[in-house]
Amino acid sequence: MTQPLVSAIIPTYRRPGLVAKSCRSVFAQSWRPLELIVIDDGSGDETPQVLEALRPEAEAAGVALHVRTVINGGPGLARNAGMEMAQGEFFAFLDDDDLWKPHKLTTQVAAMLQRPEAGASFTQFVHESSEDRPKPGPGQLADGWVFDSICRGLTRVHLQTLMIRRSAWQAVGGFAALFNFEDSEFALRLALQFPFVAVPQPLTVICTPAGGTVSRDAGLEGDLKRDRLKLDVLAEFARKHAGSARFSTTALNALRARVHDEHIKHLIWLGRVAQARQAWKTAMSECGNDERLAALKGKLARARLAGWFGLRLKKP
């Protein structure tokens, strides 16, 4: 019996010092046949040279290495370019600063071959600094038809752990042209059309790249922008997919409430209490009397009181 080809896809942007390590974790996979497609998202640096220098290692490992440079458009469009090039029956995604354990692909292919109806598979992962604490926990590994579970936080599908069938990509299309939240939106679309298989093994390592830090306020400003993007994406998702047989407004509103909750807290921590209260009213109107949102009423009151004394609530 011929083994199915797996296409590993890595988008990279200005991380020549990290992407080689990620590629080597693909070369170390026990599964064959295997191809690695690296999309340089318009880095404009030495990334192409770094990738070309890996060719002898790829050949020695029996992995077909394909490299392409595209105009910078974000990780979603870069992954789409990779899927367009891919020849495999299965696609697996890895970021340029993360790693796979050697048996990651072998384990997932076996799981998906046992469940031919499944369009996707996901695994647990660990952070590099805490490999003794796999995530998600056992309570967040529901599989099957997981749209509701993803929205309610009962299933966590991390993109670096995701493997999909080519047929699933052909059915749902590629990633949205976003620089953030494109992975979650893609998983939600997949979950409307295909059941998922959960593999309760930590087979991916999430690494934190070295680099400078920003002040808390600057970081929170970035959080606010991401919050607004997520809410816009989810509103558009509801408009596009409300007619799907497995779509649930109640479930999606639970996800929207989680994003609203974070957005309101970010405003509170920035001391923008009036904006936070207005955002809370909007959230309650959109999502109903969600318990998470209802619990914010007390925090808003404390933030308002702190503001009278020129203070603000601190981020935990």
Per-residue pLDDT, 5:
98
For residue 99, list its beta bridge partners. Answer: 205
Could you give the count of Cα atoms lying within 13 Å of 231 in the half-sphere of its Cβ?
A: 19
Q: Which residue has the tokens 């458009």?
A: 73
Per-residue pLDDT, 211:
43
DSSP H helices, the chain, are 16-27, 47-52, 55-61, 75-85, 104-114, 147-151, 166-172, 182-193, 216-241, 249-269, 273-287, 291-294, 296-308
Model confidence pLDDT, tens digit, residues 175-194? 999 989 999 999 999 999 99
* Angle, alpha carbons 205-209-215 (nearest 5°): 130
For residues 35 and 217, give the distance between their C-alpha atoms in angstroms, rounded to a whole number: 43
For residues 136 and 237, give the distance between their C-alpha atoms in angstroms, rounded to a whole number: 25
Tell me the mean pLDDT in the region 214-231.
Answer: 82
Report yes or no: 284 and 264 within 8 Å, Cβ to Cβ: no
Share of the chain above pLDDT 90, in %: 90
* Angle between the N-to-C axes of helices 216-241 and 249-269, in degrees from 0 to 180, rounded to the nearest 10: 160
Confidence of residue 315 (pLDDT cuts 50, 70, 90): confident
Model confidence pLDDT, tens digit, residues 73-87? 999 999 999 999 999
Per-residue pLDDT, 138:
85
Confidence of residue 216 (pLDDT cuts 50, 70, 90): very low
Across the chain, mean pLDDT equals: 94
For residues 176 and 64, give the distance between their C-alpha atoms in angstroms, rounded to a whole number: 27
Model confidence pLDDT, tens digit, residues 269-289? 999 999 999 999 999 999 988
The greatest distance separating any two alpha carbons of the chain, rounded to the nearest whole angstrom, comes to 73
Confidence of residue 218 (pLDDT cuts 50, 70, 90): low
For residues 275 and 130, give the distance between their C-alpha atoms in angstroms, rounded to a whole number: 37
CB atoms within 10 A of CB 34: 24
Closest of 214, 209, 205 to residue 14, by C-alpha: 209
Residue 208 has pLDDT above 80, yes or no: no
Could you give the count of Cα atoms lying within 13 Å of 56 in the half-sphere of its Cβ?
A: 3
Report yes or no: 52 and 20 within 8 Å, Cβ to Cβ: no
For residues 234 and 156, give the distance between their C-alpha atoms in angstroms, rounded to a whole number: 17
Confidence of residue 213 (pLDDT cuts 50, 70, 90): very low
The first and second tokens of residue 312, run together, are 């603000």
Residue 214 has pLDDT above 70, yes or no: no
* Angle, alpha carbons 243-248-251 (nearest 5°): 150
- Lowest mean pLDDT, pick from 114-118, 209-213, 312-316: 209-213
Model confidence pLDDT, tens digit, residues 160-169? 999 999 999 9
Tell me the mean pLDDT in the region 220-228.
Answer: 95
For residues 233 and 155, give the distance between their C-alpha atoms in angstroms, rounded to a whole number: 20
* Angle, alpha carbons 150-147-247 (nearest 5°): 135
Share of the chain above pLDDT 70, in %: 97
Confidence of residue 217 (pLDDT cuts 50, 70, 90): low
DSSP 244-266: STT--HHHHHHHHHHHHHHHHHH
pTM (two decimals): 0.93
Local structure of 119: helix, strand or coil: coil
Residue 212 has pLDDT above 70, yes or no: no
Per-residue pLDDT, 209:
57
Tell me the mean pLDDT in the region 41-53.
Answer: 96
Residue 146 has pLDDT above 60, yes or no: yes
Higher local confidence (pLDDT), 218 or 222: 222
| Residue ranges of domains in the chain, CATH in brackets | 6-206 (3.90.550.10), 216-308 (no CATH)
Higher local confidence (pLDDT), 140 or 40: 40
